């Protein structure tokens, strides 16, 4: 039996242990956690006895001794005991196992998953099921970005029809707590406030209504009210994430221009965020903040209280050593070979962390984590399983898998607090199709020293074997990975008057960047479309065979739909382009009609299958917008 995440050590002993019967808990240490929440664990007074003992072990760590006469579990606290039960539940799937002693403990203290509720709102039932799966993977924190789905007072924002209720939030917190997961609320407090500023444009820095003006006292008052309302429904949360990322509009309004000219942009950011962070600290919570803007404006670091925890997010780094540098202060991602072109102040500040070996062509991934740690701050690394560049249908695992593993390993090496696996809903991939990366992140955070390159390269097959019933299916998920061709440009990027996302450009304009012109496709676009069609055909062949053989797992069915979406979407562009060039061609017209019929049938199947994952209104919107893009090239 392959345990996941893999334990620190397994020592086999003489004898066999029958785990096919129920378990009996003897003097269990549980007060807040619920052992019955462990999937597959059957409890009975007539079951095999599990005796619990207190021992000086790491937090969440445990030791399990399985012998024919019973099972002994040692831990220092109840989370370790619950992890031991999860391991026993996995072993019980084998029925009879060898006598053994298992010792285990996590490599990172905080193993966080980011739940983003903007745009693609999930059904509440699925959110709870997702928590169950995260708990089984040993995540211990859930960072919830509510955005407009939080039940704010209606004078802050009008009530969103898909918002959570206070009772649902309480249920989520309790459901998570019983499984050893701490819910941490996240509220944007300077940028990413479109959902507020579309109703309060007077507080915006610019007409873009993206960021509040940091000089307006009423903006700070409103943000503090939002913080207070969210905290009131999270009475037990130790942490609170204040956002603070991507505030690119600093210094744009006339008043802010004057301050920036006198004191620098860093003062605008630092003073506003200092007030927000102090307010969170006054409520007895420890604040988190995205690190990018302090890295872009290093003088802002002097405004940050020592109790703040930075999240050093970077979604493009594909390893612990990479050949490019992220310059948050301007220039974006730059090849490492151009290091001498960076501003002298940038090089002086960061060179020891980015390029500790000046002669090497490689630079350190997540190098700013080390910088912030040496500056005296607690840090979490931040990776992603859904972010920029993903198509609608599936994540780009060739970027995301190395990213989540590198984030965990760097966090361990830098003695950081932990790591956050983010998942941005605006990218539209169904959350269930991100589980390959979510699981890789879990394994790497639990045993970062074991998640080396060989582990990473074999992981898709391991995931397929453990969770999809066939190692080949994990490689199908990997093979489907592809940069979005056409449809990444269709991601909605603007807000309507009520603060919701909408498509801000016509279809033809949105696909120009990816296709090199439409309907006159570039040679590169034609080759990529052909490759994607071939990959989708191969994936469909494997997935349909698995389904025919009785493998009816949810994820297998969803990947089958994703492969068909990728296939028909690529064909629609190819056929649509030909049709636009030859509108009188009867054969092309018939092919286009056949594709429309196949897309309509796929639309119906997706609506049925996705209903258990998405809020009903979000489902209707997702189906409509996604298939409008798929069908658009085939409309006369």
Element counts in the chain: helices (H) and strands (E): 19, 20
What CA–CA distances, in Å, run from 259 to 244, 268, 271, 281? Answer: 19, 7, 12, 27
Nearest to 168 by CA among 188, 144, 186: 144
What CA–CA distances, in Å, run from 260 to 190, 191, 251, 268, 582? Answer: 16, 17, 6, 7, 56
Helical (H) or strand (E) element with 474: helix 471-479
Using alpha carbons only, what angle is made at residue 53 by residues 47 and 55, rounded to the nearest 5 degrees? Answer: 150
CB-based contact 119:426 (threshold 8 Å): yes
Please identify which of the residues 77, 229, 246, 544 carries the catalytic annotation: 246
Nearest to 446 by CA among 65, 120, 90, 107: 107
The SS3 assignment for 15 reads strand
Strand-pair category, 321-322 with 9-18: unpaired
Using the CB atoms, write b or e for 551-582: b if 16+ within 10 Å. Answer: eeeebbbbbbbbbbbbbbbbbbbbbbbbbeee
CB-based contact 229:153 (threshold 8 Å): yes
Q: Which residues lie below 8 Å from residue 458, measured CB to CB, with a gap of 6+?
A: none
First-to-last CA distance in the chain?
Answer: 56
The SS3 assignment for 244 reads coil
Cα distance between residue 87 and residue 136, in whole Å: 9
Q: What is the 3-state secondary structure (H, E, C) of 140-165?
A: CEEEEECHHHCCCCCCCCCCCCCCCC
Q: Which residues lie below 8 Å from residue 153, measured CB to CB, with a gap of 6+?
A: 225, 229
What are 501's strand-pairing partners? 495
Cα distance between residue 265 and residue 367, in whole Å: 24
Torsion, Cα 401 402 405 408, to 10 degrees, reads: -120
Helical (H) or strand (E) element with 182: strand 182-186
Nearest to 308 by CA among 219, 241, 224, 234: 241
Could you confirm whether 246 is annotated as catalytic?
A: yes
Query: Which residues are catalytically annotated?
Result: 246
């Amino acid at each position: 039996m392959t345990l996941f995440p893999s334990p620190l050590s397994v020592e086999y002993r003489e004898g066999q242990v029958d785990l096919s019967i129920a378990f009996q808990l003897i003097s269990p240490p549980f007060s807040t956690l619920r052992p019955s929440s462990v999937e597959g664990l059957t409890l009975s007074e007539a079951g095999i006895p599990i005796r619990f003992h207190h021992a000086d072990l790491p937090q969440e760590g445990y030791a399990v001794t399985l012998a024919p006469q019973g099972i002994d579990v040692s831990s220092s606290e109840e989370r370790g005991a619950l992890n031991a039960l999860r391991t026993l539940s996995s072993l019980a799937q084998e029925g009879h196992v060898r006598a053994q002693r298992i010792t285990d403990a996590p490599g990172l203290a905080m193993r966080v998953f980011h739940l983003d509720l903007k745009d693609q709102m999930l059904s509440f039932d699925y959110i709870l099921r997702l928590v169950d799966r995260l708990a089984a993977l040993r995540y211990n924190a859930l960072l919830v970005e509510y955005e407009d789905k939080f039940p704010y007072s209606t004078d802050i924002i009008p009530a969103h029809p898909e918002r959570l209720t206070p009772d649902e939030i309480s249920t989520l917190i309790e459901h998570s707590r019983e499984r050893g997961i701490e819910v941490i609320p996240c509220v944007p407090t300077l940028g990413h406030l479109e959902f507020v500023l579309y109703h309060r444009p007077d507080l915006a820095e610019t007409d873009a209504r993206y960021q509040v003006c940091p000089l307006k006292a009423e903006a700070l008052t409103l943000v503090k009210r939002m913080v207070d309302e969210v905290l009131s429904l999270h009475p037990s949360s130790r942490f609170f994430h204040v956002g603070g990322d991507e505030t690119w509009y600093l210094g744009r309004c006339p008043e802010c221009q004057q301050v920036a000219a006198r004191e620098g942009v860093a003062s605008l950011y630092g003073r506003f965020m200092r007030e927000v962070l102090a307010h969170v600290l006054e409520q007895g919570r420890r604040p988190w903040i995205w690190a990018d803007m302090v890295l872009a404006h290093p003088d802002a670091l002097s405004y940050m209280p020592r109790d703040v925890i930075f999240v050093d997010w970077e979604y493009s780094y594909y390893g612990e050593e990479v050949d490019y540098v992220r310059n948050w202060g301007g220039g974006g991602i730059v090849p490492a070979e151009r290091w001498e072109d960076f501003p002298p102040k940038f090089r002086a500040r960061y060179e020891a962390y980015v390029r500790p070996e000046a002669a090497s062509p490689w630079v350190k991934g997540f190098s700013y984590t080390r910088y912030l740690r040496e500056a005296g701050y607690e840090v979490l690394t931040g990776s992603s399983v859904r972010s920029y560049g993903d198509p609608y249908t599936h994540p780009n695992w060739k970027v995301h898998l190395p990213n989540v593993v590198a984030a965990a390993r760097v966090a361990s090496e830098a003695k950081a607090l932990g790591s956050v696996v983010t998942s941005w809903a605006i990218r539209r991939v169904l959350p269930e199709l991100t589980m390959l990366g979510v699981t890789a992140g879990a394994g790497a955070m639990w045993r970062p020293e074991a998640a080396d390159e060989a582990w990473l390269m074999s992981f898709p097959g391991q995931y397929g074997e453990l969770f999809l019933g066939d190692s080949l299916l994990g490689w199908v998920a990997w093979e489907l990975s592809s940069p979005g061709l056409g449809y990444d440009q269709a991601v909605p990027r603007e807000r309507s008057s009520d603060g919701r996302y909408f498509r801000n450009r016509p279809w033809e304009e949105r696909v120009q960047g990816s296709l090199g012109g439409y309907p006159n496709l570039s040679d590169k676009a034609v080759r990529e479309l052909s490759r994607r069609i071939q990959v989708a055909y191969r994936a469909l062949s494997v997935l349909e065979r698995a389904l025919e053989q009785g493998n009816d797992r949810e994820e297998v069915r969803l990947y089958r739909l994703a492969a068909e979406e990728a296939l028909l979407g690529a064909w629609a562009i190819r056929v649509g382009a030909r049709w636009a060039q030859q509108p009188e061609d009867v054969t092309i017209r018939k092919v286009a009609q056949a594709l429309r019929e196949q897309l309509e049938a796929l639309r119906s199947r997706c609506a049925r299958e996705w209903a258990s994952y998405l809020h009903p209104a979000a489902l209707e919107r997702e189906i409509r917008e996604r298939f409008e893009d798929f069908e658009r090239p085939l409309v006369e």
